[in-house]
Amino acid sequence: MELLKQRILRDGSVKPGNVLKVDSFLNHQMDIGLINEIGKEFKRLFSDIPVTKILTIEASGIGIACITAQYFNVPVVFAKKAQSINLDGDMYTTKVESFTHKRVYDVIISRKYLNPDDHVLLIDDFLANGASLLGLIDIVKKSGATLEGAGIVIEKGFQPGGRIIRDMGVRLESLAIIESMSEDSLTFRE
């Protein structure tokens, strides 16, 4: 997605530890006009599949998923990262290791909001090692729903998540795949 790549080149910055900071437009401050274009692009890429739910994970996936859901006319369900007393007892759970926060946390979704009749599109902002996305895939499997695909805004192509998930046979569409990056340069996969 050319608009997104240009924005990453203009406003993104690379920090030590393979961190790509895009928090001026994607995951702290959010440029809603750009995210609308991202939503349209996901709809274009997945226009041929039936989708009944968009599934994402808190926190930074939620806004992108909600804007995208407008183009599919379906509800969003967001997975939660810890037990909350406001959630009912009957839940799907999985464990996700966060490389960013260096800890393992439980990811949960109420069984009420995902069932075998659902056709699920996963949406998230980043794909690097694949931990979050693999957690969501595990929950979709447990629910018996059909996993139709996964839409990612930025994939770090030099980390293994994308390969692992494509090798599983999941239809994965990333709007920008970073081939390599350093503090001086950033290149996209063609």
Interface with a copy of itself (CB under 8 A)? 17, 19, 21, 23-25, 27-33, 35-36, 58-60, 62-63, 65-67, 69-70, 73-78, 80, 82, 84-88, 100-101, 109-110, 112-113
**CB of residue 45 to a copy of itself, shortest distance in Å:** 19
Q: Give the C-alpha separation, 94 to 132, whole Å.
A: 10
Q: Give the C-alpha separation, 175 to 11, whole Å.
A: 16
Residue placing its CB nearer to a copy of itself in the complex, 167 or 182: 182
Closest among 179, 137, 135, 131 to 154, alpha carbons compared: 179
Residues 92 and 113: beta-carbon distance below 8 Å? no
**CB of residue 109 to a copy of itself, shortest distance in Å:** 8
Would you give the DSSP letter of residue 80? B
**CB of residue 157 to a copy of itself, shortest distance in Å:** 19
**CB of residue 59 to a copy of itself, shortest distance in Å:** 4
Three-state SS at 186: strand
Residue placing its CB nearer to a copy of itself in the complex, 29 or 185: 29
